[in-house]
Amino acid sequence: MSDNQSWNSSGSDEDVETSESGVGQPVVGIAELGGIISKWTNYIHGWQDRWVVLKNNTLSYYKSQDEREFGCRGSLCLSKAVITPHEFDECRLDVSVNDSVWYLRATDPEHRHQWINSIELHRAESGYGSEPSLRRHGSMLSLTSATSGYSATSTSSFKGHSLREKLAEMETFRDILCRQVDTLQKYFDGCSDAVSKDELQRDKVVEDDEDDFPNTRSDGEFIHNNNGSKEKLFRSLSPKGINGIDFKGEAITFKATTAGILSTLSHCIDLMVKREDSWQKRLDKETEKRRRIEEGYHSALSELKKKSHFGGPDYEEGPNSLINEDEFFDAVEAALDRQDKMEEQSHTEKSRIQRSSPVPPGDVYSTIGSHRFADKVEEMVQNHMTYSLQDMGGDANWQLVVEEGEMKVYRREVEENGIVLDPLKATHSVKGVTGHELCHYFWDTNVRNDWETTIENFNVVEMLSDNAVIVYQTHKRVWPASQRDVLYLSAMRKILANNENDPDTWLVCNFSVDHDNAQPTTRCVRAKINIAMICQTLVSPPEGDREISRDNLTCKITYVANVNPGGWAPASVLRAVAKREYPKFLKRFTGYVQEKTTGKPILF
């Protein structure tokens, strides 16, 4: 979070309180919060300032505040988010949801504390994480589980032939019982209708009754009852009088059907009791299987929380890095292999591009110069001429680490405060080129990208003279190592031989300097270098009166490098990378010069 961090509320102005430092602090009831905070984008670009918005229990980020109308670049739902302040970095907080992690970094601990409080307050206001909320969710889950359990019990398909037969009998009995219930219902309805009709007829007869009306026994005639009243004699109901239904028979059948159902249910219960042991064994087996799976899941989740996500800021070069040396080296080696493949693909395109590289007259490189670094350049040149050309045969401190044909690479192991400062020295012989040509292509910035594959970009900070220039360059990042940059003075000199039989010496020395226009940044680790390319041309006499051709030329090369990489890269990894990359560089560069000078006039 930058110093000009601000909070933005989509509600009223009362939603935000401003502290004495001018930073808005959230209060309960906030609808939306927004501010600038540094977010870890990826291992190439590292930390980048992003506009982060907290709204509706969702954390979203945009590239900038002005680009909000184009939509967010990512968002996290905070209902199950875990906010973790970093153990070592007081400005950093990690927001994780399952396997998604956002690495955020404020400018100071106070701003980080404000962000954490804001997120927690927003979650509480939204109703997530509170006890009543958890109870409600728990109750709903229990109800759902109970319903599912009942459904599973009532509809489960039991195994076993006998049980299936009994269940089929249950289905048959159910159909019979349903038909019997319908028949009995019809009978009861018929009885109810007959009783109603009888009551209506009886009321009519009573109203029309005459005292002297004679008694009769025939159907439809009247008789005197004991009370002297007359009643019409109705036909008595037979057992099949209503719709031909045999009520007694239906009742007996209904009783038999229910007895059959009860008997079948009893048999089913007996069968299930007998199979209870096998079911219990299956249940125990499935329970144990689930327990092991849950233990594995929790173990993997715990391990994932201990280690930050691969590719995050905890898995890169740093004082508290979680990556060990073997993993560090494997990652670096894989990245270098990818770069080599990409370089092979682009080599053809580079070879097609023809760049003009004008060569100043030779006497330009013989002068010391009059710029402000002239004395320092002269001191460096003399040191290299004195010490770099010494034979290493009797020095036991130098170790031969690579030998490929004419090329030999030596190293002397030196560490200071845990940082590898191994001086490196390589000797090589190249046919068909001169020392002037090799040093010219090594020094000329116009063709630097043609042969240098490790540079991401570079620019000339200051041109001191025709043979001295200050250059700032950043090197391609090789993850998980931090990106490096270098600010150095590059000077090219010609040293005349004291003896006419000895060859002249061409030399390019590159050493670190400071400059106001290229200050160190937090994005890169500033490396310190002291490098020299020293070349001497040996000419074999041509046969007869022939002119000297490139077949008569041999250039003896001495390359020395003293590099302080800075940072926290493991010593074993730095030494392994140096052993791998320096020989490749020499072969690539000398091959490039041979290709560029073929068919051109010799430059002595």
Question: Which stretches within 412-528 are classed as H helix?
Answer: 435-443, 448-451
Q: On the CB side of 166, how many CA atoms lie within 13 Å of its CA?
A: 20
Task: Please report, rounded to a whole number, the percentage of residues in the chain having pLDDT higher than 90.
Answer: 25
- Which tokens in the block code for residue 419? 């940082």
Using an 8 Å Cβ cutoff, are 588 and 453 in contact?
yes
468 phi and psi angles, rounded to 5 deg: -145, 135
pLDDT in tens, 528-563: 999 999 999 999 988 888 888 999 999 999 999 999
Span 488-501, mean pLDDT?
A: 90
pLDDT, mean of residues 166-188: 76
Quick: pLDDT tens for 225-247: 444 444 444 444 444 445 556 66
Each residue's pLDDT tens digit, 290-343: 999 999 998 887 766 655 445 566 667 766 666 777 777 787 888 888 877 777
User: 398, exposed or middle or buried, with CB in 10 Å at 0-12, 13-18, 19+?
Assistant: middle
- Whether residue 156 is predicted with pLDDT greater than 90 in this model: the reply is no
Query: What pLDDT is attached to residue 574?
Result: 84
pLDDT at residue number 408: 92
* Rounded Cα distance, 372 and 356, in Å: 30
Residue with tokens 């007959």: 194
- Per-residue pLDDT, averaged over 436-442, amounts to 94
Short-list 586, 582, 538, 585, CA closest to 562: 582
CA dihedral 595, 597, 600, 604 (to 10 degrees): -160
Residue 416 pLDDT grade (very low, low, confident, very high; cuts 50, 70, 90): confident
Which pair of structure tokens corresponds to residue 120? 């927690």
Q: How many angstroms separate the CA atoms of 342 and 346, rounded?
A: 6
Exposure string for 559-582, b = 16+ CB within 10 A, e = fewer:
bbbbbebebbbbeebbbebbeeeb
Extract the runs of DSSP E, i.e. beta strands, from 241-387.
Answer: none
Helix 247-274 vs helix 276-306: angle between axes, to the nearest 10 degrees? Answer: 50
How far apart CA 53 and CA 143 sit, in angstroms, is 37
Residue 600 sits at the vertex; the CA angle it makes with 597 and 603, to the nearest 5 degrees, is 75
Q: Is the pLDDT of residue 455 over 60?
A: yes
pLDDT of residue 402: 92
Query: How far is Cα 518 from Cα 461, in angstroms, rounded to an integer?
Result: 8
With 90 as the cut, is the pLDDT of residue 65 above it? no
Beta strands in 513-552 (DSSP E): 525-526, 528-539
Task: Compute the radius of gyration of the chain from its Cα atoms.
Answer: 49
pLDDT(222) > 50: no
pTM score above 0.95? no
